[in-house]
Amino acid sequence: MRRQVEPLGAYDPFVSPPLGIAMGVLAVLSATALLELSRSLAETYRGRWFAGNGRDLFHFAAAGVVASALAANGLPPALACFAGTSLLMLPLLFLDTLPVRRPARIGLLLALVGLAAAPPLLEPRSIVEASNAIARLLFPG
């Protein structure tokens, strides 16, 4: 009998669920702060290196913070990185069209990042199981 290997890895949390949720909330707040800092610095240094490539460093850091929290919650590393970058796509698409006033912009960014991060933070086991089921269907072996 051949043993079934999970294509994307198994659900294996490093922390307890309440601590994982707390880490997720902190990651959402940190990612929001990094995206806001990226936007503020891009406005200040418009037309310079930071307005293009420099912003990517902040976006990468935001994705890394979220991916780390997702990995601690039990997602395999590859899936955590995929989910972390995917959930930041919508906030990044709207980053330059958000309101000019900082409090409103921060609120909208927090809502966008928080809503996108809620499913993998609240139900990491189901995300891992569904991803592995899809991978098994796509790549039978």
DSSP characters over 100-125: SSHHHHHHHHHHHHHHHHHHHHH-HH
Most confident by average pLDDT, 9-13, 27-31, 101-105: 27-31
Domain boundaries, the chain: 17-131
Nearest to 128 by CA among 9, 4, 5: 9
Residue 59 has pLDDT above 90, yes or no: yes
The tokens 């959930």 sit on which residue? 87
Closest CA to 9 of 73, 79, 63, 84: 79
Exposure of 47 in the CB half-sphere (CA atoms within 13 A): 0
The tokens describing 76, both together, are 């395999």
Cα gap 71→66, rounded to integer Å: 9
> Is pLDDT at 10 greater than 60 in this prediction?
yes
- Residue environment code for 71-90, b if the CB has 16+ CB neighbours within 10 A, otherwise e: bbbbbbeebbbbbbbebbee
Query: Any idea which of 48-52, 78-82, 126-130 has the lowest mean pLDDT?
Result: 48-52
